Amino acid sequence: METMFIEARSELGIIPPKKSLAQLPKHIGLFTTVQHVHKIDGLKNLLEESGKKVYLLKGTHSKHQGQAQGCDLFTLKPSKDIEAFLYIGTGEFHPKELLMLQKKPVYIYNPESKRFYQLDRKEIEQIERRKKGALLKFLSSTKIGVLITTKPGQQNFAAALKLKEKYPDKEFFLLIADTLDFASLENFPFIECYVNSACPRIGYDEHENIGKPVVNISDI
């Protein structure tokens, strides 16, 4: 079956108020989602006209400069000169991930609500504490479930197979699906901890749905 991806475009304005832009430092990493990416150059030019240096972010799987896309943020190697990031879009999925990875201030402008604000570091600190607890549980566990997806861009089967070599004292159970159904994990009550080899955000966001500690394969 052939899969066709059709990009949608939003006609909402993406320019934050001038008083909001004035809060930003001189060196800015700028990114958005695909529905706003056709307008990102206009915002970049406006920022540069006000004396700021703007870096458009682009990940491995993204098609356009300035486009953020899921796991791409884990592949980014932004300039060390960047002092803060500005995200244009709804929700906080991408900016939270970036704050967690880059440890620099992240600002958000929501084109729908017209709200401009800085992401709270406290929410990320909670995720990091949970991550440390899951790592400790992984190290003390002997029966580990490995979550694997066959989705393009998220499939990490080769790395999952190497876990046994790296941790010969543990028993690994490979759980493979196209779309992971977390409720089905109740069928494996003997598993003490899970390793996630799919979308990295599963390890941070889905611990309640999975019901047991989850570590991302990149963290071990």
**What global pTM score does this model have?**
0.77
When the pLDDT of each residue in the chain is averaged and rounded to a whole number, the result is 88
Q: Could you give the domains of the chain?
A: 18-119 (3.40.50.11850), 129-219 (3.40.50.11860)
User: What is the rounded end-to-end Cα distance, in angstroms, of the chain?
Assistant: 36
The set of residues, in sequence order, having a beta carbon less than 8 Å from that of 167 and lying 6+ positions away, is: 144
pLDDT band at 176 (very low <50, low <70, confident <90, very high): very high
At residue 70, the pLDDT reads 64
Looking at 9-13, 100-104, 139-143, which range is the least confident one? 100-104
The maximal CA–CA distance of the chain, rounded, in angstroms, is 60
Strands (E), 127-198: 143-149, 171-177, 193-196
The set of residues, in sequence order, having a beta carbon less than 8 Å from that of 182 and lying 6+ positions away, is: 206, 209, 210
Label residues 151-188 b or e (16+ Cβ within 10 Å = b): eeebbbeeebeebeeebeebebebbeeeebeeeebeee
pLDDT at 123 over 80: no
At residue 74, the pLDDT reads 65
What DSSP line would sit under 21-71, residue for residue? Answer: HTTS-SEEEEEE-TTTGGGHHHHHHHHHHTT-EEEE---SS-SSTTB--GG
How far is CA 117 from each of CA 1, 16, 19, 168, 170, rounded to the nearest angstrom? 43, 10, 12, 47, 45
